[in-house]
Each structure stands twice: as C-alpha cells, then as structure tokens.
Amino acid sequence: MMKPTTTTAAATTTPAVWIGSLHAYNCGSLVGEWTQATDLDQLRKVAARVLRRGGGEEIALMDFENFGEMIGEYTQLERVAQIAAAIEEHGEALVLYASHAGFDAVDDVDDFVERFESAYVGAGFESLKDYAEDRFHELFEVPDALAPYIDYGAFENTLDCEGTWFAEGHVFMPA
C-alpha cells in the first residue's frame, strides 16, 4: 500500500511570466521578456526594461507558466510574486486546488493558502479508491485475513460524497 508524500514542494518548474509592452503590441510588434515570477524586484526590473524597449507606460502578462488560471493578463506584479511564491512552496497541488476550489482576483492569497493547507491530504495516490483503502487502514485495525472482504469502493463513495476529491495523484478533503 502506497503511503502519501507529506511534502507539497513543486515537482515542476518555477512559475514564470512573459511581460510585454502594451504600446508595442498595439503598434503591431511583440516586445517583452520571460522571467521567473517569484521575485518582485526582478519582475519590476524586467517590466521597466520592457517599457524602455517597447515604449508606452503599460505592461501586460501576455503569457505565463505554472500558474494554472491563478493570474491573468493584468494581474499586478506584487500579486503575481505573492502567488508565484505560494506555488513554488506548495507545487502543483496548490494550482490543482485553485482550479477546483476557485480562485479569483479578489481572493486574499494568504487566506487561500491557509484553506489549501487545511484541505490538502497528500500526494502519491493512484486514485481516490487507493486513498480510501489507505485511510480505512489508518482508521481501523483490520486483520490481514479480513482485508480482501472490505468494500473499499463503498468507503471511496462515502469520502466522495463528503467532498473528498482526487486530482493527478493528490487528495484533498473539504475545507
């Protein structure tokens, strides 16, 4: 039986954004630059450099990686850095949770991360049924001779009805 991993560290690359000049874009050219998004000072330096090269006064995040749908084209750089730091700390599990639970421009990032931490069970499961079997054995001492007769699918259904969900190896409880 597989035990869940307790870490939520990112297994993917650091969140990154492509900062572009809106003026250059509106004039028919792409002027911008990719940068890692966890450092606010770096984001500001790249934005200033892009505006010097592309002209105008406004930037847009014309592309981004490893954020899911947590940011958009006009998300403020301070918020981008805060969200990127949370994703770097918690990995894809936070992005999956945001996709399922919903995350938008008015959500407080720290409160959202707190809800995530309350809901996140762990990773390393092949299915919700795999987690149900593991959880059942945590809750009850089952002799090996009886284990084949337990309906783990029914327990999985109970967990599902209570709001427990599974995505890409990660398990989440209702927050």
Q: What is the pLDDT at residue 3?
A: 42
| Average pLDDT per 10 consecutive residues for the chain, totaling 175 residues | 44 84 97 98 98 97 96 97 97 96 90 97 96 94 92 96 97 92
Helix and strand element counts for the chain (H, E) = 7, 6
Distance CA 83, CA 13 (A): 14
Q: What is the pLDDT at residue 175?
A: 74
92 in Cβ contact with 12 (< 8 Å): yes
Q: For residue 148, give the DSSP letter.
A: G
Work out the mean pLDDT of the chain and round it to a whole number. 92
Q: Per-domain residue ranges for the chain?
A: 16-90, 123-172
This prediction's pTM: 0.86
Q: What is the pLDDT at residue 106?
A: 82
Q: What is the pLDDT at residue 97?
A: 97
Fold classified for 123-172: Arc Repressor Mutant, subunit A (1.10.10)
Q: What is the pLDDT at residue 104?
A: 86
Tens-digit pLDDT profile for residues 25-44 = 999 999 999 999 999 999 99
